[in-house]
Structure formats: structure tokens, C-alpha cells
Amino acid sequence: MAEQKELAGKVALVTGAGRMRSIGRAIAKKLAAMGCDVVLTGTGRSPERYPDDEKAAGWRDIDSVADEVRALGSRALPVVCDVRSASAIEDLMRRVIEAFGRVDILVNNAGAARGRDRVPIVDLSEDLWRQVIDTNLTGTFLMSRAVARQLLAQNEGGRIINISSIASKLVEPNNGAYAASKAGIQALTCVMAAELAPAQITVNAVLPGIIDTFRMDDLGRGEVWERLIKARVPLGRAGTGEDVAEVVGFLCSPRAEWITGQCYIVDGGTVRLP
């Protein structure tokens, strides 16, 4: 049965949507299947930096995802944008309004990749700390501020979904910058939910667990990966981008119009809170 087009006429902006194995791609396709036109942002990374599977597939980052959105019957606008830059976001918003005349949904999915920041706090450089915080937390703030201003001007409600992480709950060693940035996203989510509620703009967060994306490649595959999943995920498998996209789609839908200021864990049972 074809997906119900319950978001027909809406325009969604999804950041960090260019990777072939990613949450952002799945979210963009889900919202397109629900009827949204979709703005996709990416970093404009060089093809030399693509993983081998993307190179083999002839992947073209946000342009490839834009083609998938169009194949689902929706319009797409791929834009290279640095979410850490207020001026770049202003340019992005001008292009969005020129192309579509409005925006209804923001999904803050762009995030710093796993890297040299995964060390003890005493060994973490200020530059690496700022790189993670600026991308994850400041980027979410700047994008949310710009889109919220547009939503308030439109005066027709709207949705903001922030992609956080269970790292904010597990707060494990060697994860200080990332965990702090994601916990900050959740606090920001709750504050914005209270501020924007009178305008019928809902703000929620989704906290993925271990999702089988390119971000996990450095942990190892094969036996190493299987042991990790067995030890960490009670439901016995890694999550997919589509698992996260299903929750995002629901939160963007009319069915979730009375839900705001909430943080939804999507992790196969890794984190269990009473």
C-alpha cells in the first residue's frame, strides 16, 4: 500500500543528509514518502573522502539523495551549508524561501563524525572540543533559531526535530565532548518547546542508539561488530536509519500534534529508564 501523503504541501529541511549509509538519507526519504518537499544540506565533502562503497556506487552526496526524493514524487533542493555559520544559514534560508516560499519542518541531523575527540577529558584539545560542540550543539541552535523565526512569521505552527544520541544517557569515558553536545541538544529541545508552544510549534528530540551507518565503521565489522551488538543491544540487531526515520516521521505528522518537549530513545533496548 502506498504511503499516506499526510504531509503533502509541507516543506522539510533535513541537515546532514548526504551520506549513503546514514540516518539523514533515511529521514529525507521518509518525509518525501509522506508528501514533503525536502531541502537537503551537506558539507560539500570532496569525493576523495567518500567511503569505498560510496565510490563504487558512484554516490554524489546530497545530489544522490535529492534524486531519490524526486523519485518519490517530491521536489528536492540540495544545498551545501555549514551549520556552524550563521551567515551560511541565512543564505540557506533565502534559497529555501525563494524555492518553496515556506518551511514547515526542520530536522537537525548534522553531526560531527567520530574521531580524535574520543579520548579522556584531560587529553582532549580545546580545538577538538570546539569542533564537536560547534557542529552538534551550536549548529542545532543556529539552524533552529533561523527556522523558528520563519515559522513564527508564517504563523501556521511547525515541527523541529533534533537528533541527539544515547551517548547523552550513557555518559561513558572518552566521550566527553560528544556526550556533552548531545545532552545540550536535549536541554535546548526542552527550552525551545516551552518557548514555541504558544505558536503551535512542537520541538522534540530523537536519541538513536547503535545504528548501522558509516559512523560505526571504525569500530570494526564482522565478528567484532557481532560481539558488540550482542553485548549492547537486547533486541539483537543494530538499528537502521529507517528505524530512526519512522519515529521522526511520526513526530512530524498530525498524529503527534500534542507532543512537545520530549526525548525519544530509539536503541533496541540499550538504555532502559524507569
Place of cell 524561501: 97
For residue 218, pLDDT over 80 is answered with no
What CATH architecture does domain 11-266 belong to? 3-Layer(aba) Sandwich (3.40)
Percent of the chain topping pLDDT 70: 99
Specify the residue for cell string 538504555. Answer: 271
Pseudo-torsion of CA 106, 215, 67, 43, nearest 10°?
A: 70
Bridge partners of 158, per DSSP, are: 201
For residue 221 the three cell numbers come to 565489522
Q: Mean pLDDT throughout 63-88?
A: 98
Q: What is the structure's pLDDT at 32?
A: 98
pLDDT > 50? residue 251: yes
In sequence order, the 6+-apart residues with CB closer than 8 A to the CB of 56 are: none
User: Are 214 and 22 a contacting pair, CB within 8 Å?
Assistant: yes
Q: Which amino acid is at 5?
A: K
Q: Can you give the pLDDT at residue 214? A: 77
Nearest to 266 by CA among 193, 190, 137, 246: 246
Question: Is the pLDDT at 195 greater than 50, yes or no?
Answer: yes
The residues that are catalytic are 178
Domain ranges of the chain: 11-266
> Could you tell me the pLDDT band of residue 168, with boundaries at 50, 70 and 90?
very high
Is residue 217 scored above 80 in pLDDT? no
Q: What share of the chain is helix, strand, coil (3-state, %, to 5)?
A: 50, 15, 35
Q: Does the pTM exceed 0.75? A: yes
Residue 2 binned pLDDT confidence (cut-offs 50, 70, 90):
very low
d(CA 147, CA 160): 9
Mapped onto helix, strand or coil, the DSSP state of residue 29 is: helix
Residue 259: all three cell numbers together: 507532543
In sequence order, what are the residues at sequence separation of 6 or more whose Cβ sits closer than 8 angstroms to the Cβ of residue 113?
Answer: 215
pLDDT value for 221: 77
At residue 3, the pLDDT reads 55
pLDDT interval class at 141 (50, 70, 90) = very high
User: 201-216, pLDDT tens digit by residue?
Assistant: 999 999 999 999 877 7
Name the average pLDDT for the chain.
95
**Is 216 or 138 the better-scoring residue by pLDDT?**
138
Q: What is the mean pLDDT of residues 130-158?
A: 98
| Contact by Cβ (8 Å): 102, 153 | no
